């Protein structure tokens, strides 16, 4: 997985990257990515999971935004999406959770194909920022949580 993430970093997808700090059976990767935020990706090979502990900060659990986010994540498994954008349930499953307002994503790899999982997971988080957040409904959220200058959007 480190090789795949380094490949994205070398292509300029991440503005910063450090990889593979080990904590027991987990490897922790850090990247500077969307909105110049630091993202942590945790690989747990015992559980066959990859997790971004904070994809979106400060989203109330009962909010319509969180409900729409969960629907968006579920839609990434849809047969209606082209294959290159779809996450095949036979290979990986994604779920979200919300702890104290911090929305996380966990991808479970079904067939130990970590390359497939890593690529789909990176693409999914990219779509969260480039599709889900950028349709205009979450303008105020983006200004408030990502310190965006509303005059420069």
| Position 152 confidence tier, pLDDT thresholds 50, 70, 90 | low
What is the average pLDDT value for the chain, to the nearest integer? 91
**Higher pLDDT, residue 98 or 134:** 98
Domain that holds residue 67: 2-143
Whether 29 is in a domain gets the answer yes
Whether 150 is in a domain gets the answer no
Whether 151 is in a domain gets the answer no
pLDDT of residue 66: 97
Q: Are strands 102-109 and 26-32 parallel, antiparallel or unpaired?
A: unpaired
Q: Which residues contact residue 32 at a Cβ distance below 8 angstroms, ignoring those fewer than 6 apart?
A: 14, 15, 16, 17, 38, 39
* Helix residue spans in 63-103 (DSSP H): 64-75
Q: Which of 7-21, 53-67, 118-132 has the lowest mean pLDDT?
A: 7-21
pLDDT at position 121 over 80:
yes
Whether 148 is in a domain gets the answer no
Count of domains for the chain: 1
pLDDT at position 100 over 60:
yes
Residue 29 bridge partners (DSSP):
41
Q: Which of these, 120, 121, 148, lies nearest to 134 by C-alpha position?
A: 148
pLDDT of residue 93: 97
Return the CATH number at 62. 3.30.1460
Whether 23 is in a domain gets the answer yes
| Position 135 confidence tier, pLDDT thresholds 50, 70, 90 | confident
């Amino acid at each position: 997985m480190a090789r795949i993430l380094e490949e994205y970093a070398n292509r300029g997808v991440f503005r910063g990257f450090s990889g593979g700090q080990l904590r027991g059976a987990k490897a922790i990767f850090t990247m500077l990515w969307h909105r110049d935020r630091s993202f942590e990706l945790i690989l747990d090979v015992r559980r066959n999971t990859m997790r971004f502990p904070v994809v979106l900060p400060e989203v109330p659990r009962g909010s319509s935004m969180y409900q729409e986010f969960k629907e968006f994540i579920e839609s990434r498994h849809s047969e209606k999406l082209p294959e290159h954008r779809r996450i095949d349930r036979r290979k990986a499953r994604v779920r979200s959770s919300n702890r104290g307002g911090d929305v996380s994503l966990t991808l479970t790899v079904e067939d130990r194909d970590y390359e497939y999982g890593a690529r789909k997971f990176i693409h999914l988080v990219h779509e969260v920022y480039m599709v889900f957040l950028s349709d205009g409904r979450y303008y105020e959220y983006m200004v408030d949580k990502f310190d965006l200058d509303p005059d420069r959007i």
